């Protein structure tokens, strides 16, 4: 059987872990999954979830997206250095007022979320081009299209990812390669708790009172509720990604949560760019109960993406 070699980054938890297991448990055994993580001491959850697939359709390898040597060593150890499907998932969040964040902290986010992808492709793209086949799947975010209050640096890192992939996509087409950006809204993973805990620890003394109050009493106060009520599970995002991978003609962009499509559509609806900014402003500041207003807004504007995902044709089993 002609198995596709899949390399996934950031598989110690969340979306990466769920996706590695989903692919390894494929009934038709179409995939050989190299589930990577920067710290192998964190492999317990994946080992447990992988069950009998471990050593069969799933292997765990070390890979730190911030370390070129680690990426090279991992790829060098794959049979014929071949990767058919690269899933760039490793990433981190960051919230808060920029006055309270150091440039070094910001660089770590860019280094992981953006340069991590660039480093992977520098190592893996030449082989895909040579073989004239491959699928590059990037876990981006709705924040790759539309920024959200107090996510300035995180959104910038995902915008960078999207601009990079848009530019590369035309070249990729020339080599018969696919690039797909997966754009989830909030997902309930360790990302949420890590971001919240770091955010809650921020020393707000460098911010003015209005900003500090906005961050604490609007953003942080509603954060958990928004994630818990409007968030997806990592398994759900993995299922969407699985469908993208097994589709005949995967689209360049795919949003996994239709609740957030209106948010990104506002941007395209107004070339001046004011519509999303004014809408967010009203949503956050001109209602007594921010959470209910946000929830109602999102639900009111819910619609289905015109290019229905479910219509996508699955590839024939190979
Ligand atoms: N959760 C959400 O709301 C959303 C998440 N996303 C994106 O999904 C992706 C996965 O996040 P999610 O599963 O939610 O969060 P998790 O925190 O559960 O997973 C993130 C993974 O990335 C790994 N990672 C971080 N830095 C590096 C590095 N330098 N090298 C290799 N691995 C690294 C983490 O490893 P370690 O355990 O060692 O830290 C972990 O395995 C990210 O790109 C994120 O931006 C997009 C939209 C929404
Ligand atoms: C908490 C909060 C808001 C929404 C936050 C959202 C929607 C966060 C999404 C995070 C994602 C998608 C992370 C990963 O990529 C609003 C509406 C601005 C109102 C103020 C409080």
What DSSP string describes 116-158?
HHHHHHHHHHHHHHHHT--EEEEE--GGGTS--TT-HHHHHHH
Residue nearest to atom 17 of ligand 2 (CA): 294
Report the binding-site residues for NADP(+). 10-38, 64, 158
Residues in contact with ligand 1 (CB, 6 Å cut-off)? 9-10, 12-16, 37-39, 42, 64-66, 89-92, 112, 139, 141, 184, 186-187, 189-192, 194, 234
85's enclosing H/E stretch is strand 85-88
Residue nearest to atom 13 of ligand 2 (CA): 186
* Lookup result for tokens 């002609």: 2
**Cα 247 from chain centroid?**
19
Higher pLDDT, 194 or 309: 194
What tens digit of pLDDT does each residue of 31-81 get?
999 999 999 999 999 999 999 999 999 999 999 999 999 999 999 999 999
pLDDT of residue 30 exceeding 70, the answer is: yes
User: Distance between CA atoms of 106 and 153, rounded to whole angstroms?
Assistant: 6
User: Distance between CA atoms of 100 and 123, rounded to whole angstroms?
Assistant: 35
What tens digit of pLDDT does each residue of 183-233 get?
999 999 999 999 999 999 999 999 999 999 999 999 999 999 888 888 999
Give the per-residue pLDDT at 298.
Answer: 60
Pairing, β 85-88 against β 58-62:
unpaired
Give the per-residue pLDDT at 306.
Answer: 37
pLDDT of residue 307 exceeding 50, the answer is: no
Partnered with residue 37 across adjacent β-strands are: 62
Give the per-residue pLDDT at 282.
Answer: 84
Nearest ligand to residue 216 Cα: 2
pLDDT, the chain, mean: 91
- Residue 196 designated active-site: no
Count of Cβ atoms closer than 10 Å to residue 308 Cβ: 8
Higher pLDDT, 248 or 292: 248
Report the binding-site residues for substrate. 141
Write down the catalytic residue from 154, 219, 223, 260. 154
197's enclosing H/E stretch is helix 190-201
Count of Cβ atoms closer than 10 Å to residue 122 Cβ: 13
What tens digit of pLDDT does each residue of 198-209 get?
999 999 999 999
Closest CA to 45 of 240, 189, 228, 242: 189
Under a CB-based contact definition with an 8 Å cutoff, are residues 154 and 109 in contact?
yes
Task: Report CA(88)–ligand 1 centroid distance (Å).
Answer: 10
Residue nearest to atom 9 of ligand 2 (CA): 186
**Cα 120 from chain centroid?**
15
Give the per-residue pLDDT at 305.
Answer: 39
DSSP helix/strand/coil, 48: helix
pLDDT of residue 310 exceeding 90, the answer is: no
DSSP helix/strand/coil, 200: helix
User: Distance between CA atoms of 226 and 297, rounded to whole angstroms?
Assistant: 13
Residue nearest to atom 45 of ligand 1 (CA): 91
23 by Cβ neighbours in 10 Å (0-12 / 13-18 / 19+) ranks as buried
What tens digit of pLDDT does each residue of 127-161 get?
999 999 999 999 999 999 999 999 999 999 999 99
Task: Report CA(39)–ligand 1 centroid distance (Å).
Answer: 13
Ligand 1 atom closest to the Cα of residue 63 is: 31
CATH of domain 4-190+232-256: 3.40.50.720
User: Distance between CA atoms of 210 and 130, rounded to whole angstroms?
Assistant: 55
The encoded tokens of residue 49 equal 């979830």
Ligand 2 atom closest to the Cα of residue 150 is: 18
Cα-Cα-Cα-Cα torsion 266, 272, 277, 282, nearest 10 degrees, comes to -80
Task: Report CA(294)–ligand 1 centroid distance (Å).
Answer: 25
Phi, psi (rounded to 5 degrees) for 82: -90, 130
Nearest ligand to residue 181 Cα: 1
Task: Tell me how long the chain is.
Answer: 318
Closest CA to 118 of 81, 63, 168, 75: 168
User: Distance between CA atoms of 43 and 63, rounded to whole angstroms?
Assistant: 12
When pLDDT is averaged across residues 301-305 and rounded to a whole number, the result is: 46
Rounded to two decimals, what is the model's pTM? 0.92
């Amino acid at each position: 059987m002609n198995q596709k070699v899949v390399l996934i980054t950031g598989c110690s938890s969340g979306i990466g872990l769920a996706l590695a297991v989903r692919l390894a448990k494929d009934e038709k055994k179409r995939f050989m999954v190299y589930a990577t993580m920067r710290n192998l001491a964190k492999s317990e959850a994946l080992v447990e979830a992988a069950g009998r697939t471990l050593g069969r359709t799933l292997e765990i390898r070390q890979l730190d997206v911030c370390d070129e040597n680690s990426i090279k060593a991992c790829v060098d150890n794959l049979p014929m250095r071949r990767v058919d499907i690269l899933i760039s998932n490793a990433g981190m969040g960051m919230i808060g007022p920029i006055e309270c964040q150091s440039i070094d902290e910001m660089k770590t986010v860019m280094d992981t979320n953006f340069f991590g992808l660039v480093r992977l492709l520098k190592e893996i793209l030449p082989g895909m081009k040579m073989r004239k086949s491959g699928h590059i799947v990037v876990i981006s975010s709705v924040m790759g299209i539309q920024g959200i209050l107090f996510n300035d640096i995180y959104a910038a890192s995902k915008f960078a990812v999207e601009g990079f992939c848009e530019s590369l996509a035309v070249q990729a087409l020339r080599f018969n390669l696919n690039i797909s950006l997966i754009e989830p809204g909030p997902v309930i993973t360790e990302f949420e708790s890590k971001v919240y805990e770091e955010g809650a620890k921020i020393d707000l003394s460098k911010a003015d009172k209005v900003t500090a109050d906005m961050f604490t009493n609007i953003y942080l106060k509603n954060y958990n509720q928004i994630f818990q009520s409007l968030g997806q599970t990592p398994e759900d995002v993995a299922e969407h990604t699985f469908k993208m991978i097994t589709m005949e003609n995967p689209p360049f962009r795919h949003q996994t949560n239709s609740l957030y499509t209106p948010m990104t559509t506002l941007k395209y609806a107004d070339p001046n760019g004011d519509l999303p900014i004014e809408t967010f402003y009203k949503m956050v500041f001109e209602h007594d109960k921010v959470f209910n207003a946000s929830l109602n807004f999102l639900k009111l504007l819910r619609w289905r993406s015109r290019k229905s995902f479910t219509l996508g044709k699955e590839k024939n089993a190979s």
